[in-house]
Amino acid sequence: MRLILSIIICLSFAVTARATDPAPFIVVDQFGYVPNLEKRAVIRDPQIGFDASRSFQPSGLYAVIDVRTGDPVYRGRPVAWKQGKVDEASGDRVWWFDFSALTTPGTYVVRDLDSRVESDPFEISRTVYRPVLRDAFKVFYYQRAGFEKRAPYAAQGYEDAASHLGKGQDSQAQRYDSKGKMDAARDLHGGWYDAGDYNQYTSWTANYVSSLLASYIQNPVVWTDDMGIPESGNGIPDVLDEVKWGLDWLARMQNTDGSMLSILARAEASPPSQAKGPSLYGLENTSATITAAGAFAMAAEIFRTQPRLIEIADSYQARSLRAWAWADDNPSEMFYNNDDDQGTLGLGAGQQEVDADRLDKKRLIAAAQIFAATGEERFCKTAERLYRRVGGIKSDTANGFEGDLGFTMLRFAATQGVPKRLSQRIRQDYSSAMLEWNGWGAVNDDADPYGAYVDGYWWGSNGTKARRGAVFTQAVVGGIDPASHGRAVNAASHYLHYLHGVNPMGLVYLSNMKEAGAERSVSTIYHAWFKDGSRDFDSTKTSRYGPAPGFLVGGPNPGYARDECCAKGCGGFGDKVCRRPDSVPPVGQPAAKSYGEFNDGWPLNSWSVTENSLGYQADYLRLLSKFVQ
Please say whether the beta carbons of 84 and 29 come within 8 A: no
pLDDT in tens, 3-22: 443 433 333 333 344 568 88
Identify the pLDDT of residue 479.
63
Contact criterion met (CB below 8 Å) for 206 and 250:
yes
The torsion defined by the Cα of 204, 408, 430 and 438, in degrees rounded to 10, comes to: 20
3-state secondary structure of 376: coil
Residue 430 has pLDDT above 70, yes or no: yes
Query: What confidence tier does 396 reach under pLDDT thresholds 50, 70, 90?
Result: confident
Range with the lowest mean pLDDT among 337-346, 357-366, 402-411?
A: 402-411
Domain ranges of the chain: 26-124, 129-348
Q: Does domain 26-124 match CATH 2.60.40.10?
A: yes
C-alpha to C-alpha distances, 354 to 128, 347, 510, 514, nearest whole angstrom: 39, 17, 29, 39
Interatomic CA distance for residues 481 and 605, integer angstroms = 44
Q: What is the mean pLDDT of the segment spanning 453-478?
A: 91
Assigned architecture for domain 129-348: Alpha/alpha barrel (1.50)
Query: What pLDDT does 490 receive?
Result: 96
The rounded distance, in Å, linking the Cα atoms of 242 and 285 is 25
- State pLDDT tens for residues 314-339: 999 999 999 999 999 999 999 999 99
Nearest by Cα to 78 from 104, 42, 105, 31: 42
Residue 397 pLDDT grade (very low, low, confident, very high; cuts 50, 70, 90): confident
User: Interior CA angle at 489 toward 194 and 495, to 5°?
Assistant: 45
Over residues 243-272, mean pLDDT: 98
pTM score, whole prediction: 0.95
Cβ atoms < 10 Å from Cβ of 332: 10
Q: Is 430 exposed, middle or buried (0-12, 13-18, 19+ CB in 10 A)?
A: buried
Query: CB of 300 within 8 A of CB of 190?
Result: no
Q: Is the pLDDT of residue 401 over 80?
A: no
